[in-house]
Each structure stands twice: as structure tokens, then as C-alpha cells.
Amino acid sequence: MADGTRTPNDLEAYWMPFTANRQFKSQPRMLVAAKDMHYTASDGRQILDGTAGLWCCNAGHGRAEIVEAIQSQAAEMDYAPPFQVGHPAAFELANRLTDIMPGDLNHVFFTNSGSESVDTALKIALAYHKARGEGSRVKFIGREKGYHGVGFGGISVGGLGNNRKQFGNQLPAVDHLPFFYDRETMCFSKGQPETGAETADALEDLVALHDASTIAAVIVEPMVGSAGVYMPPKGYLDRLRTICDKHGILLIFDEVISGFGRLGAAFAVDKFNVAPDLATTAKGLNSGTVPMGAVFVRDGIYDAVVNGAPEGAIELFHGYTYSAHPLACAAALAAQKLYRDENLFARAAELEPYWQGAAHSLNGAPHVIDVRNIGLVAGIELQSRPGKVGARAFDVFLKAFEKGLLIRTTGDTIALSPPLIVSKPQIDEIFGIIADILKTTA
């Protein structure tokens, strides 16, 4: 704007993330306010939030308790450096979080996003093995179609081609498990598919190929989100856990999407009753209000790294300027209290059967080739147009926005994940709008 040629409404300066910039700037869709289950568009229309923002606003929008906590903290102390000093809210929050995480995942390292949480977990895994005298364990195993954020660590262990191909080689020494989904045997499954657990046994093949002594960790999303919403087959995560234990390999769950009630439990750890060695989180941690993430770490890993270092030394040379930012901590404490006071995780579990029925009502709708669901998550996969993958679902996205509904698309899958405060009539509205659009979509 310094040259006087731009105006505050000029759209060119902002390079939007994961967005078709030219399409958006020719037909912008602007959100200007949000409250509870709705956004307000710039033309004044109410837009029902079918995606909890971006999988993150689990308590809904504009919750007074969170807003007031942020305002109060900003007035009291806007920032505190996280290196060599602390502030009380960070320690209180860490304790509140470990209280709801099962098992011995009793330590929390704060970050500012899911991407940072993943890179942090990978570094902690390396530091752990080195502290134990197994510095040869430097390789990571991800999975095809895995999404672990956009840091170089995350895109390396991730398995989405479009997220990798522009950026050349990422981390060396990374391999990938095959994806577990088979449409022929799994399509229209309600919850976890009954078959497919044996695909986890491919980890044994990778161990034989690389040698266990070189592998630091396996990282997977317990529920696949950004790649199209896929549920793990029954027994699949258990097999990964068993194989990792057998070979001394750490298991990392990426719970950035699945954490904080999304699956009708605090974490996928609870939902699937399988405990990882580290768990990455973000998004719902403070209901998306202030950027924040957290990595949960088991006692033995923390003890090896921290208690194994010389007295007075920095044990882990890693951290962020905004780790445990006071405003983010205040928002998270308020959000966690809301989750408890309103029993939102249990509420999601109670709504799951109704949500499932509504989602599978689209079985037989035009272009629908699969419906996948768990907790308050659903993926509605559409038949792709020849040579135009993603075009049909994006048309549904545009039409839904016109009709007052915000959805998310990934490829030709419609991904739905509303705030946990969603009502049954609003669930009906979400799937009713989509059903009507599909009837008129070519």
C-alpha cells in the first residue's frame, strides 16, 4: 500500500494457503464473524459450520468463556519467554492435559501448530534413541496417504504426493507403509472396517528391509483425516503397536485432528484402546482460538532424555519463541474447562449413532461411491469426473457455501467434522443440503 496503488480491499497481496488463489480472488468467499455453530458471510448470510473451522473449533465459535480468558490474560501479561523462565498457566495446562490422556503419557511439550508438533515428536524420538546409546536409529516410517503437516519433517513422513512434489527431496531415510483401504471390501463401512488389519504386517517387511536397529519411529494418524477420512480396520493399530514393541521402535500417533473429542472420546488413544509412545496434538486443544499445539510423551522417553543429561545442561535443544504462549494457554485452559463442564466429548459419543445414520442416508445418492464415519467425522466420497479429480467435490463445496453450509473437500471426498455442540436438526440440515446439491450436480 506504500505506493498508493492498493486499497484495503485489494486481494492480491495475500497469498492464500492450500487455496486456488485465482479462483478465490475472482469469486471471493469472505467470513466476517462467527458465533456458536455459524459463520457470518460478508453479505450477511449465516453459514452453518460443517467443519469446525478446519477440524479445530470443537467448542463452537465465540464462546464467551474462552474470549474472556484471552482478554484477561492479554491485559495481565501478553507474552512470557519460554526459555529458562516459565509462567504458571503453562504448568497448569500441562497437568490438565495429562490428566485426560490415559497411560503414562505424562509429559507435554508445547508448540504452535500440528506441523510443529510433528517435527517436535520426530526430534524427540531421535533424542531418545541417542540418549539410550542407539544413535543408529535415525529412520522414520510413515504411511501412504498420511498427512502430518507441512514442515519438512511432516511432509517427509507424510504420504500425500501433492504436498511433496513441489519441494524436491525432504528428509532422507524415510519409508512408508502401504495404505490399508480397500474399497471393494470396506466401502460404506459404519465405523471401523471389519477387515484389513493384516496390512499392518507390512511393517515387518520394512523392518527386514532396513533393520530394526536403524528405525527410530513409526508415525500414523489413528484416523486418517486430510487424505479423505478413513477409519483404521479393527485390530490394525494393535498390530502396529505389537510390531513396534517387538523391535524397540517408537510409535507416534498424530492426533492433531482426532484429539479433544472429535471421535467421541478425549483422544483416539481412548477410542481405539491403543497407547502410542508419543502423541501430537493441536487444533481442538484450545478450540482453534489461538495457534497452539502439544506433544504428549511417555515417562520413559522423558526420563531418558532429561534425566540422562548432565546436571544443569539443556537436555533438548529444541523449542519455539511462542511455546506455551500465555494467551494460547489461557484459551486452552478455558476450552478444556468448557469441554468438561458441558461434557462435550461424551456428547459427541451420544450423537455418533445419529450422525452415522445421517451420513449413510447418502448411500445411493448421485455420484456417491463411499461413506465413511466415526465419532463426529464423515467422509462422503464422490465418483471423480474423467481427468478432473476433485472438480465434482469442489463444485459441491461452492454450491454448499451458496446455500449456507461450509464443508471441506479433499480430492473428491467431502469431509465433515462439525463443532461438538452441533444439534440433531443441524445434522439433518448438513446432510439435507448435501443431498439436494448432489441431485443437481453433473
Average confidence (pLDDT) over 350-359: 98
Residue 307 is given by DSSP the state I
State whether residue 101 is helix, strand or coil.
coil
If asked whether residues 187 and 243 sit together in one domain, one would say yes
Number of structural domains found in the chain = 2
Confidence of residue 8 (pLDDT cuts 50, 70, 90): low
Measured between alpha carbons, how far is 171 from 173 in angstroms, rounded to an integer?
7
- Tens-digit pLDDT profile for residues 183-208: 999 999 999 999 999 999 999 999 99
Does residue 15 lie within any of the structural domains? no
Contact 282, 111 (CB under 8 A): yes
User: Exposed (0-12), middle (13-18) or buried (19+): which is 359, by Cβ within 10 Å?
Assistant: buried
What's residue 165's pLDDT? 87
Measured between alpha carbons, how far is 114 from 330 in angstroms, rounded to an integer?
19
Neighbouring residues of 260: CB distance < 8 A, sequence distance ≥ 6: 58, 266, 267, 281, 283, 284, 285, 339, 345
Average confidence (pLDDT) over 415-438: 98
Average confidence (pLDDT) over 98-106: 97
- Tens-digit pLDDT profile for residues 292-328: 999 999 999 999 999 989 999 999 999 999 999 999 9
pLDDT surpassing 70 at residue 4: no
Does residue 10 lie within any of the structural domains? no
Confidence of residue 1 (pLDDT cuts 50, 70, 90): very low
Give 1 or 168, the one with higher predicted confidence. Answer: 168
If asked whether residues 45 and 122 sit together in one domain, one would say no
Average confidence (pLDDT) over 48-60: 98
Measured between alpha carbons, how far is 200 from 151 in angstroms, rounded to an integer?
26
Instruction: Record the pTM.
Output: 0.96
Nearest CA among 230, 231, 227 for reference residue 145: 227
If asked whether residues 283 and 405 sit together in one domain, one would say no
What's residue 33's pLDDT? 97
What's residue 171's pLDDT? 86
Q: Tell me the residue range of the domain where 364 lies.
A: 21-59+343-439
What's residue 168's pLDDT? 73
Does residue 5 lie within any of the structural domains? no
Does residue 6 lie within any of the structural domains? no
> Which ranges of 211-343 would DSSP assign to H, the alpha helix?
236-247, 268-272, 299-302, 326-341
Average confidence (pLDDT) over 150-174: 90
If asked whether residues 36 and 171 sit together in one domain, one would say no
Average confidence (pLDDT) over 158-170: 86
State whether residue 355 is helix, strand or coil.
helix
If asked whether residues 277 and 321 sit together in one domain, one would say yes
Q: What's 316's domain CATH number?
A: 3.40.640.10
Average confidence (pLDDT) over 335-339: 98
